[in-house]
Structure 1
Amino acid sequence: MCGRFAITLPNDAMAQLFSARPANTLPQVPNFNVCPTNQVHVVRTAETGRRLDPFRWGFLPHWYKTETAGPLLINARAETLAEKPAFREACRERRCLIVATGFYEWTKTEQGNRLPWYIQRKDGAPIAFAGVWQDWGADEARQGTCAIVTTPANRQLSAIHHRMPLILEPDDWPLWLGEVGKGAARLMAPGAEGVLEYYRVDPAVNSNQASGPDLIEPIPA
């Protein structure tokens, strides 16, 4: 799964990278500890072209009467994305990219202590998570919500977790966004080996209140 990530790319650089028109209400960056229910940066295709919008991280199906009416859906499994009632329609019609610089996963010691790891691209490029989105609410309370699509971990990341976010390369963005026809299902596979790297970081990030660049500084494993 993916339960926490970082985004450090400036908003104007994000808009340029994804050739997207930015909203005026994008979340502030950098944020080294993006948590569920936070606003995140979402790239989607609209009638006027790509947009970069702020969405709530936590997909809200249309039948939820309140934001807490059911489970917090921050991840969507690729294997069942097209079948689950919550995601079935979004899988066909509302796919998006969720922008990150890196993300966190945790292992446990024999004593049960949680040890955080930070994962990023080896080439230093931003990460584009595959996502799905859903508008939820009515009138002034209407908001965009999203979830990150996950797959079984590849061999490299399986050392620290059995799942990983679906990370898309630039050549695959148009297909995932539905800009070049059908066939996005073929993208829903574990990422290529060797694209990512990871290292231990300070357990301070175990708190969702922690902030600052020190959270992604490496410490001895």
Structure 2
Amino acid sequence: MCGRYVLFSDTEMQDIRDIIDEVQRKVNGEMKTGEIFPTDKAPVLIQEQGIITPDAVKWGFPNFRNKGVVINARAETAPEKPMFRRSLETKRCIIPCTGFYEWSHNGPKTKYQFNLPESGALYMAGLWNDFDGERRFAILTTEANVSMSEIHNRMPVVLTRPEMQLWMNNYQDALDVLQTARPELIKTPA
């Protein structure tokens, strides 16, 4: 599960800063940074006509059964689910961030931020689609690895740098990425 993430434009993270700057130019204004909530518009890397480009995209596919939005898609079932199948085939995206949040469920509820060791930037695999003329995204999740499992049984599909191009370019490579172990993360109280 990934219900919130964080996006800061610290000068030390030039790649994140560049993504935010490009999206701000596209939307002629400020792009939300800091803590990103479902239904916020946030920078997302999409591929159109073979070019990966940042765009401002709303977090959450419409939930056609109930009110609200669907913010996560299970990597294990996305290839079969009608809501996600076509997006997984042709509309994969990458969600840049500087960490994501999760809350402990045992004992006092504590909020933790998860990041890659020795890296300010973290990239999550996602899916996008257009609904009634509005572009939206969902974050793919997978079974938590040991670095996350004591806090939650799910985690975002965090992409390594080499996996980013594989994820975007080829459907079979993307499926292979979903089958591999996710990198170990570090957690800090938020």
Smaller-chain TM-score bracket = 0.7 to 0.9
Partner SS state of residue 96, structure 1: strand
Q: 1:101 to 1:94 in 2, by over 3 A?
A: same
**Structure 2: where are the runs of 5+ without partners?**
none
Match of 1:81 in 2: 78
Match of 1:150 in 2: 141
Q: 1:132 to 1:27 in 2, by over 3 A?
A: farther
Q: What's the CA shift string for 1:140-195, capped at 9, x where partnerless?
A: xx2110000000000111011100000111211111112x56321111144123xx
Match of 2:177 in 1: 187
Match of 1:172 in 2: 163
Match of 1:54 in 2: 56
Q: 1:197 to 1:12 in 2, by over 3 A?
A: closer
Match of 2:119 in 1: 124
Q: Please give the alpha-carbon distance, in whole angstroms, between the structure 1 residues aligned to 2:106 and 2:173.
A: 42
Q: What's the CA shift string for 1:102-123, capped at 9, x where partnerless?
A: 111011344xx52211111211
Match of 2:130 in 1: 135
Check the 8 A contact 1:116/1:200 in 2, yes or no: yes
Q: 1:80 to 1:183 in 2, by over 3 A?
A: same
The 5 Å alignment of 1:80-99 reads 80-99=77-96
Check the 8 A contact 1:149/1:165 in 2, yes or no: yes
Check the 8 A contact 1:75/1:148 in 2, yes or no: yes
The residue identity in structure 2 corresponding to 1:28 is: M
Q: Please give the alpha-carbon distance, in whole angstroms, between the structure 2 residues aligned to 1:91 and 1:109.
A: 34
Q: 1:101 to 1:162 in 2, by over 3 A?
A: same
Q: Please give the alpha-carbon distance, in whole angstroms, between the structure 1 residues aligned to 2:117 and 2:142.
A: 20
Match of 1:42 in 2: 44
Give the superposition deviation at 1:135.
Answer: 0.6
The residue identity in structure 1 corresponding to 2:121 is: P
**Structure 1: where are the runs of 5+ without partners?**
202-221
Q: Please give the alpha-carbon distance, in whole angstroms, between the structure 2 residues aligned to 1:38 and 1:121.
A: 24
Alpha-carbon RMSD: 2.7
Count of residue correspondences? 185
Percent of aligned pairs with the same amino acid? 30
Check the 8 A contact 1:27/1:40 in 2, yes or no: no
The residue identity in structure 2 corresponding to 1:79 is: E
